Amino acid sequence: MDEYYLGLVLVPTLIGVLAAVSCALLGNFLVLRKQSLMGDAVSHVVLPGIVVAFIATGSMAVAPMLLGAAVAALISALLIELVRNLGKVEPGAAMGVVFTALFALGVVLLEQSDTRNVHFDVEHALYGNLESLVWLDGTGLSALFDSQALADLPPQLGRLAMATVVVVLFVVFFWRQLVVSTFDPVFAQASGVPVRFIGATLISLVAVVAVTAFEAVGAIITIAMLICPAAAARLMTNRLVPQLLWSVLFAIVSAVVGFWAAGSGMELIGSGFSVSAAGMIAAVSGIILGLCACIGPQRMGALA
Amino acid sequence: MIDVSAFINAVTFNAGYNTAIVAIGAVLLGWAGGTVGTFLLLRQRSLVSDALSHATLPGVGVAFLVMASLGGTGRFLPGLLLGAAISAMIGLACVEWLTRKTRLKSDAAIGAVLSSFFGLGVVLLTVIQSLGIGRQAGIGNFLLGSTSGMLRNEAITLAVLALCVALLVFLFRRPLTLVCFDEIFARTSGINIQRTDLLLMFLVMAVTVTGLRVVGLILVVALLIIPPVAARFWTDKTNVMIVVSGAIGAISGFIGTALSASVPNFPAGPVIVLVAAVLFVISLLFAPARGVFSGLYRSRTFSNKVHMRQGLLAILRGEAIYDRDTIKVLRAKKFIRGDGTPTRTGLDAAENAAREEALWSCYLRDNPDAAYRAARMRLDPIAERLTAGEISELEKQFSSPTTVVSGSTA
Amino acid sequence: MNIHQSGSAALSVRGLSVAYGDKPALSSVEASFQQGRMSAIVGPNGAGKSTMLKASMGIIGTISGDARFFGRSLEEVRSRIAYVPQRASVDWDFPATVIDVVLMGLYRRLGPLNLIGRTQRNFATQCLEEVDMAALANRQIGQLSGGQQQRVFIARALAQKADLLLLDEPFAGVDAATEKTIITLLKKLVNEGGTAIAVHHDLSTVTAYFDDVLILNVRRIANGPVSKAFTEATLAEAYGGRLAQADPTVRAVI
């Protein structure tokens, strides 16, 4: 095994996998609730959150940025609800209004502030830089037991691992409430399930995951992973638990294959450059969905 | 921060040839976007435009690579826009295919196409970057748009395109309105719905592609979504909404480009979107037809009337009143005292309310179809709602012994 | 008389007013439904029939008024009530099987850590047998006919072991066999001491199916035993000129 394999390939791949899996798990419920595009909207408004946090603190420290992004994501979810209820407009249009307006605000604030000096730009926000999240001290298996080397692991790895654990715990502990309120909200409310609370928690977790993943891998993976694996999984099975498992599998495959294709795969076909891993992962998840749409055993609805 | 004289120059088209051309283009584009967007909103397909705009990116990348490999600069705008249009159509076809051929709903199809096409586009962008031929100025502008540093012929190309789109929208506004307003009527009057929907999507694509270079692919959907949603607060009528939405779009384009030209580091695209967003917030809050404040005021007034009526009837029956809102409205009118006992005026009002209730019941016995409207009307003084003749007729009935107050069968 | 003092009523509402914005849906409705009876809520379209059930269950907000179940507040007796929503209110393409949906009726009684085991599955299967659907227990719900979907909903309500069933349009768009199965089942439940309140739109079957009726048209028109409250006069008051068009058979029935 190449001595750099662990640090340069496995660690960023693992980061990609964690981001993909945590998004995909939540994505199942977004897709079933016909709220897929909430992920899209929430990911877009991370930008203004980060810019505001930067302007407020004047530093690129991670904690305030994550906080700013999370707050912005929650505010956008609230605004969407508000516009939808007050304006009585369809959810899609309400989302479109809110996320474009906030994203525009973010771009203008960014241009007006001096963030450009500290190397931050919109492109980075959109498609991150997964390739750079390497573990330089990870030069062999022995490094796994070397506390000094471990301390040098990219911090994104730990944060994403934590986010993934939180998502899994949420899905396991609130399983019944999630399922009932997704399938039949009226019945759920009548039986005393806190439907609004569950919905709000789901969106908050989407925001948390979007923010954590975004910092590591950019918005594009978040959006793709919140939708594509779950949508593809829906075409594979008619049961919810298998659907979740399929979506996790698709998320892992997208991350691994995408990361490989962006780096080693490009070398393999003899091209001398590497391309955006985030973009490639999103594209692979789209291809998986396309395949499932062609051959997935449950691709047709009962009425179609 | 804002340079007033530069702003005035920009508003009066005196800030240079390019700026004037871009401003004219933005106004036309804003109008076209607002108008087409109204149809899109009425057909409940607003976010299809989001998939469409993100799907332009791979096309831009491929067009760039093709033109560069043919020995060109790769920056040739019409070529890039053509590529954008083609891949947008492919993206749209994918959305249609996913929603028609599989069980996926449109939101999932839109999100999937949006993200995977965008991912592919990003891959192509990084290819171009590592080839070292596509400096940021080349196609980075397509993400967020930019008007500064735009070449004169680019500005002219965009203005002409915007003019064409606006003309097309103007020409086809009638069948589109008809289909959105009343699909069945449109069908019976010989309009092909599918073809009209296709036309709508073509116009959406045209607006998106034209707006790409100025507003950027992430924000160009705002031109199609924000103005119609804002317009919705001003009116319930489709044809009024189309006009209002077009106007909001045009105003946003105009003010946005003017601001962008007169304030440093104020990129045109996001600023246009922000101006539209401000107009949206104003509409949301203050529009008299469906705005938040007028809605709150109306439902508050209505709710108070309900409490007033129920409180008065309870007074008459000698029941204690517990509902806080009821107590509040009764106290405000001094119909009850602090201890909850009715005042003299309160008792009078209660008797009057009971009389009106009874008259309304008589009225509804004769006009059952009016129940829905009457539920609101009956809370107002009867003299405001019915003519004196009608009332005296009701009073005659009421006093006759054969009439029973409704609900007595319980 | 204060309705709430007749504490045995399965459901009593007092002064219930509901509006969507400033558009009234219910105006000061007073009604009570006795235990051990089958009651119908009838009225023309837009009369607020479903709204009344939803407002009673706290699913939508009210301007004023309250609802008491068995003389108590909803929270105290929620586990004794089963609510059957309109069939069209859910997405039947949801990835679940028939028995999954029935098991949802058990969620309230199971603690978050109690797993669903053989006992629960057997019980759910029994509930499905009651509506003659046990054979389809593992079928994907999207493959069911409208009548079968309604039966699954009824089975889920049975699984809740409730004393009071609130049904929103249980016979809308179902086949004759299903309608018969459901009505037989409901009558059996009521004979055993249960209570059923159904939003109903078919005036011609009111007399045959129900003991009591609430006739509604934004306000209460009449409420009481079918024999007294369901008269030509009250119906005319609720439906006006539409009655004749709505159902020519009704006049023959009443």
Q: What is the pLDDT of residue C252?
A: 52
Tokens of B157: 């190309």
Q: What is the pLDDT of residue C5?
A: 43
Q: pLDDT over 90 for what percent of chain B?
A: 29
Min Cα separation C95/chain A (Å): 5
| Residue type for position A212 | T
pLDDT in tens, B97-113: 999 999 999 999 999 99
Check residue C72 and report its DSSP letter.
B
* Contact: C220, B367; criterion CB under 8 Å: no
Cα separation, A138 vs A136, in Å, equals 5
What mean pLDDT value characterizes chain C?
87
Two tokens, residue C186: 């409901």
pLDDT tens column, A190-211: 999 999 999 989 988 998 888 8
Measured CA to CA in angstroms, residue C252 lies from C183, C205, C231, C244, C247 at distances of: 22, 12, 12, 11, 10
Confidence bin at B404 (pLDDT 50/70/90): very low
C15·B309 Cβ contact <8 A: no
Q: What is the dihedral of CA A207, A208, A209, A213, to 10 degrees?
A: 100
CB contact under 8 A, A100 and B226: yes
What span, in angstroms and rounded, lies between the C-alpha atoms of C14 and B322?
12
Q: Residue B403 above 50 pLDDT?
A: no
Please tell me which of the candidates A96, A111, A301 has its beta carbon nearest to residue B267: A111
Q: What pLDDT does C78 receive?
A: 92
Task: Provide the whole-model pTM.
Answer: 0.86
User: Quick one: pLDDT at residue A268?
Assistant: 63
Copy the structure tokens of residue A265: 């795969």
pLDDT at A138 (0 to 100)? 66
pLDDT over 70 percentage in chain B: 90
pLDDT band, residue C254 (cuts 50/70/90): low
Mean pLDDT of chain A, nearest integer: 85
How confident is the model over B39-54, as pLDDT tens digits? 999 888 889 999 999 9
Q: Over pLDDT 70: what percentage of chain C?
A: 90
pLDDT tens digit sequence for A142-164: 767 777 777 777 888 888 999 99
Distance from CA of A67 to the nearest CA of B (A): 24
Q: How far is residue B275's CA from residue B266's CA, in Å, rounded to a whole number?
A: 12
Chains that touch C (3 or more CB pairs under 8 A): A, B
Q: How far apart are CA A188 and CA C59, in angstroms?
A: 10
Fold of B4-288: ABC transporter involved in vitamin B12 uptake, BtuC (1.10.3470)
* CB-based contact B49:B106 (threshold 8 Å): no
Q: What is the pLDDT of residue B405?
A: 43
- Identify the band that residue C225 occupies on the pLDDT scale cut at 50, 70 and 90: very high
Once rounded to an integer, what is the mean pLDDT over residues B12-24?
Answer: 78
Please give the residue that has the higher pLDDT: either C219 or B245: B245
Question: When comparing pLDDT for B164 and C165, which is higher?
Answer: C165
pLDDT number for residue A210:
86
| Domain layout of chain B by residue ranges | 4-288, 293-403
Least confident range of B307-311, C9-13, C21-25, C31-35: C21-25
**pLDDT at residue B407 in the model:** 40
**Residue from C69, C90, C138, C161 whose CB has the most chain A CBs within 10 Å, to mutate:** C90
Return the ∠ at Cα C28 (arms to C25 and C29), rounded to 5°. Answer: 85
Q: For chain A, list the domains and their CATH numbers.
A: 2-295 (1.10.3470.10)
**Gap from B375 CA to chain A (nearest CA, Å):** 23
Please state the rounded mean pLDDT for residues C189-215.
Answer: 93
Q: What is the DSSP string of A68-86?
A: HHHHHHHHHHHHHHHHHHH
* pLDDT of B406 above 60: no
Q: Average pLDDT in the C248-252 region?
A: 52
Q: Which of A127-141, B63-77, B149-163 has the lowest mean pLDDT?
A: A127-141
Q: Let me know: does B301 contact B279? Beta carbons within 8 Å.
A: no
What mean pLDDT do residues B121-126 have? Answer: 88
Calpha distance B175→B195 (Å, rounded): 10
Q: Which residue of A lies nearest to B217 if distances are taken between CA atoms? A: A100
Token pair for A125: 């926000």
Over pLDDT 70: what percentage of chain A? Answer: 88
Q: In terms of C-beta density within 10 A (0-12 exposed, 13-18 middle, 19 or more buried), how is residue B173 classed?
A: middle
A236: pLDDT strictly greater than 60: yes
List the C219-225 sheet strands across, edge first.
Answer: C81-84, C164-167, C195-199, C38-42, C212-217, C219-225
Residue whose pair of structure tokens reads 């394999």 in the numeric block: A5
Q: Per-residue confidence at C12, pLDDT binned at 50, 70, 90?
A: very high
For residue A36, CA distances in Å to A33, A180, B109, B344, C102 come to: 8, 18, 9, 61, 27
pLDDT digits (tens, 9 = 90+) for B300-342: 888 888 888 888 888 888 877 878 888 888 888 888 888 878 8
DSSP letters, A103-119, are HHHHHHHHHHSSGGGGS
The confidence band for A242, taking pLDDT boundaries of 50, 70 and 90, is very high
CA distance C205 to C226: 11
Helix (H, G, I), strand (E, B) or coil at B305: helix
Scored b (16 or more CB within 10 A) or e, B30-45 reads bbbbbbbbbbbbbbeb
Q: What is the pLDDT of residue A147?
A: 74
Q: What whole-number distance in Å separates Cα of residue B312 and Cα of residue A114?
A: 64
CA distance A258 to A220: 13
**Model pLDDT, residue B160:** 87
pLDDT above 90 covers what percent of chain C?
63
CB pairs under 8 A between A and C: 80
| Neighbors of chain B with 3 or more C-beta pairs under 8 Å | A, C
Q: Please state, for a pLDDT cut of 90, what percent of chain A lies above it.
A: 42
| Residue A272 forms contact with C (CB below 8 Å) | no
Phi, psi of C75 (to 5 degrees): -60, -35
Question: Which chains touch A (3+ CB pairs under 8 A)?
Answer: B, C
pLDDT tens by residue, A1-29:
456 667 778 888 899 999 999 999 999 99
Q: Residue-wise over C135-145: b if at least 16 C-beta within 10 A, else e?
A: ebbebbbbebe
* Residue listed under structure tokens 């309109």: C86
Question: In a 10 Å sphere around its CB, with 0-12 CB exposed, 13-18 middle and 19+ buried, how is residue B315 labelled?
Answer: buried
Model pLDDT, residue A302: 60
Mean pLDDT in residue range B260-268: 84
Angle at CA of residue B179, ends B173 and B181, nearest 5°: 95
Alpha helices for chain A (secondary structure H): 11-32, 36-57, 62-87, 91-112, 122-127, 147-150, 155-173, 175-183, 185-190, 195-217, 219-234, 240-260, 266-268, 277-295
* Other beta carbons within 10 Å of C205: 17
pLDDT of residue C241: 59
User: A218 is written with which tokens?
Assistant: 């950019």
Q: How confident is the model at residue A269 (pLDDT cuts 50, 70, 90)?
A: low
Interface test with A, best of B1, B123, B226 (most A CBs within 10 A): B123
**Are C57 and C77 in contact, with CB atoms under 8 Å apart?**
no
